[in-house]
Amino acid sequence: MKWICIAHFLLLIRLIAADHRRIPTTLDGPFLPVTRRFDPSLRRGSDDLPLDHPRLRKNVSSNFPEQIALAISTPSSMWVSWVTGDAQIGQNVTALDPSSIASEVWYGKESEKYTSVRRGFSTVYSQLYPFEGLLNYTSGIVHHVKIDGLEPETRYYYRCGDSSISALSKEHVFKTLPVPSKSSYPHRIAIVGDLGLTSNSTTTVDHMVKNDPSLILMLGDLTYANQYRTTGGKGASCFSCAFPDAPIRETYQPRWDGWGRFMEPLTSRVPMMVIEGNHEIEPQVSGITFKSYLTRFAVPSAESGSNSSFYYSFNAGGVHFLMLGAYVDYNATGAQYAWLKEDLSKVDRSVTPWLVAAWHPPWYNSYASHYQEFECMRQEMEHLLYEHRVDVVFSGHVHAYERMNRVYNYTLDPCGPVYITVGDGGNIEKVDVDHADDPGKCPSAGDNIPEIGGVCRLNYSSGPAEGKFCWNTQPEWSAFRESSFGHGTLEVTNSTHALWTWHRNQDMYKDDIHGDQIYIVRQPRACSPTAKVASVSILS
């Protein structure tokens, strides 16, 4: 009898341990709101790396490629981008001639055996300011080449540059993604926003490399070059505070070149899909904006029927990705809305069961920073995403982490998307720590005005925020939030299950430790576009 009791006790211990290790699913929700309080030590490391840092400085001669980056074009083609030549900064700058050097990519399935070559186009851009004392900039030559005829899930070796002057890069290698299919998915998708170039950014990138992604979603606010005067020097966490007399929101463009070098070890072998953030606006002469972003990155806008690099879509295995622009017209009468409606109507969920959307500023956000900043965009577009049963939405902008319960129109809904904010890449502006529901932290109606777009403030009609702009407690739609730097990974298992993991930087050297982890579960029968579902409130 004694041994039977001991055996039962040991079995109970094992069952408790197994239950503790069980990863929750969205079917277990909606979850009661949880806040993990901020560790003040994590604000260290938010100073920018200098441009002479080994990971940022230029290590090739003028004609050789640097800042090499991949991006998906179609399931059978890939963009390869790079920069040659020396950028210039000063009062008087002269643009380089893009035709002075060729744009070639040599590639094949075996190392040093290149069976194909493709040629593309090149360009330069300038950042010009009509103000005394501000320095102008003109870029190196930016090259974009599309290589095609690629086979799925195949390793390719390539070199880029100009073979006529023996100025090809060293050999790089990448693996193509699976074809669109309900039974094939990317190995692991890394998602990160608001990265910057700090020591924290370095940890984030090293952590991403360790997690071995096959695709990267970069959610805007890449370099924070606009935290500097044109003369360089030291950047600031708050530009307007540090430089109140600046005649325009300046930018120190060499930070872009440093960022391209910083990212090259990863982006030369893993495709990175970008979307613009507010720090990419970068106004200059004649009202020109987004010049660096638009020139440096190749995105599949034309391939997806979009007439703008600010929004596009692409497929990776059984996932259809929507990359939306928050800093261009998103109104129902505009081109982006019309394109989105058309794109969604063409999605075949029997081929790409998963529908994932991404843009820079979150619609659902309980932090004081950027609180309700993009209500106008939500009110214009949310119903489209809900009607077409978008599964997950990723955003940045807020420098912290937050995962929402499934929600639609601020109401818990089992068929609404799972909204996730992961704008905690590690930038110079530091991590956000204040919540809008904290005493005295609710922003005023005049705060959080978007750089582009209107203001559509909302007072809640029910719940603890009834008749108010801010909630009194963590909102019911906010499942989990924590102020720490990090990034996330999405591993799609099959047509109904995907594992979401948030990796905090402080856990990089700890095995099997995560900041947040959950299986996102699709319910295609219960949540088909025509299904009628009942909303659920955990506060009712």
| Residues acting as catalytic residues | 370
Q: What is the spatial distance between Cα 525 and Cα 130, in angstroms, rounded to a whole number?
A: 59
Q: For 334, which DSSP code?
A: S
Q: Over 208-250, what HEC string results?
A: HHHHCCCEEEECCCCCCHHHCECCECCCCCCHHHHCCCCCCCC
H-state helical runs in 268-323: 291-296
- Write out the DSSP string of 439-499: TT-PPPTTS---SSS------BSSGGGBTSSS-SSS-TTEEEEE---EEEEEEE-SSSEEE
Q: What is the spatial distance between Cα 76 and Cα 179, in angstroms, rounded to a whole number?
A: 8
- For residue 490, give every residue at least 6 positions away whose Cβ sits within 8 Å of its Cβ, in sequence order, or none: 188, 189, 191, 356, 392, 498, 499, 500
- Write out the DSSP string of 63-103: TS-EEEEEEEEETTEEEEEEEES--EEESS-----GGGS--
Q: What is the spatial distance between Cα 390 and Cα 323, in angstroms, rounded to a whole number?
A: 12
Angle at which helices 199-211 and 254-267 cross, to 10°: 20
Whether the bond between 178 and the residue before it is cis, its omega within 30 degrees of 0, is no
Inter-residue contact 134 to 121 (CB < 8 Å) = no
